[in-house]
Amino acid sequence: MSEVQTQDRDRSGGKVLTDLRDAVRAYVHDLAARKQRAENTVEAYERDLNQAVARLGEFLHRNPELPDWTYENLRDVVYGWAADKLSQATLQRKRAVLSDFSKHLKRLGLIERNPVALLDPPRLKKPLPVVLPETRLGAKLDEMSRLNWPEVRDLALCELLYGAGLRISEALSLIETDIDMIKRTARVTGKGSKTRVVPLSLAALECLLDYLKAREREFPAAAKTPLWLSNQGKPLTRFRAAQIVKKSLGYLHNDVSPHKLRHSYASHLLDRGADLRAVQELLGHESIATTERYTHVSWSRLREAYKQAHPHAELAAVVSEEEENALKPTGKKS
């Protein structure tokens, strides 16, 4: 153990902190208490780190300790994950978690350098977001049944996710007072506990009103929080919400999900001429680059529509890649 490590002792009993599992628990507690990260984020970080420590223990045939947190060992962990055929996006996320934990250990003086900094990040080519066809999506929402309590809830949830572009975690964290029926807005708590106010579509607002009335009839004694309830009157889970969306809209796409409704919301806004910066604020994106992905979707759809509809499309000269890129919308103001 390094001289720096032997000098670092935990606050509870003066014991030298050497066990990696103890270090992970302390780090996770710091994320939740001091940095106030979202609960889902904390759980994901803890899961990734526990998996890394468990795999490290398998390699070493013993409980791993802080001196084992080295470039060579972590390289074997990451290569093992790659051999498991995890996606590049998953590998990139796990590497980021390992790096953040390493920085935490370095700040505490438990390690001298961040070993993950030497690991090459996986090269990630992000696929374009999947967007549901606007006309077919609208028609399907219009024809959804609302004869009983679950059907009223299912329609309201789908209309909200599409009509406000919310993440599923944002939708499920809503309480009744977050909905302003007069201003037609919802107060949403997004990533990093940041709050924003988003407008609601008229369809979403009407369905929410129907849902609140049906909920009151079905569960008059239920608490007003959270907004969304299961068939048994308990808080609706992410898993059940995803099932509802897939069951209601599954025929539109073989892998429809709440997030694809958010993708569709953004792309349909841009298709109709919405300002890129405005869409960024509505979605709660920190970076405009994240929102710009939807401009490429809109451009691809526009190009395909041209090829299918224009009489001279097949006769047109092949446009070079440089010329095509020059024609693409950038989202930048001149």
Which of 196, 285, 296, 303 is the catalytic position?
A: 285
Give the integer Cα–Cα distance in Å for 117 and 99. Answer: 7
Which of 262, 263, 265, 268 is the catalytic position?
A: 262
Tokens 């599954």, residue located? 250
Nearest Cα residue to 148 out of 100, 218, 203, 221: 218
Number of helical H runs and strand E runs in the chain: 14, 3
Nearest Cα residue to 316 out of 303, 327, 299, 326: 303
Which of 259, 293, 296, 303 is the catalytic position?
A: 259
Is residue 9 part of the annotated active site? The answer reads no
Measured torsion, CA atoms of residues 282, 285, 290, 292, in degrees rounded to the nearest 10: 30
Is residue 93 part of the annotated active site? The answer reads no
Give the integer Cα–Cα distance in Å for 200 and 45. Answer: 33
Give the integer Cα–Cα distance in Å for 306 and 312. Answer: 9
Give the integer Cα–Cα distance in Å for 132 and 263. Answer: 8
Nearest Cα residue to 203 out of 150, 149, 144: 144
Nearest Cα residue to 185 out of 163, 167, 214: 163
- Is residue 99 within 8 Å of 55, Cβ to Cβ? no
Is residue 259 part of the annotated active site? The answer reads yes
138-169 burial by CB neighbour count: b if 16+ within 10 A, else e? eebbeeeebeebeebbbbbbbbbbbbbbbbbb
Which of 140, 191, 196, 293 is the catalytic position?
A: 191
Tokens 């092949």, residue located? 318
Tell me how long the chain is. 334
Strand 179-180 and strand 185-189: pairing? Answer: antiparallel
Is residue 262 part of the annotated active site? The answer reads yes
> E strands of 144-194, at which residues?
179-180, 185-189
Q: 7 exposed, middle or buried (CB, 10 Å; 0-12, 13-18, 19+)?
A: exposed
Residues designated catalytic: 167, 191, 259, 262, 285, 294
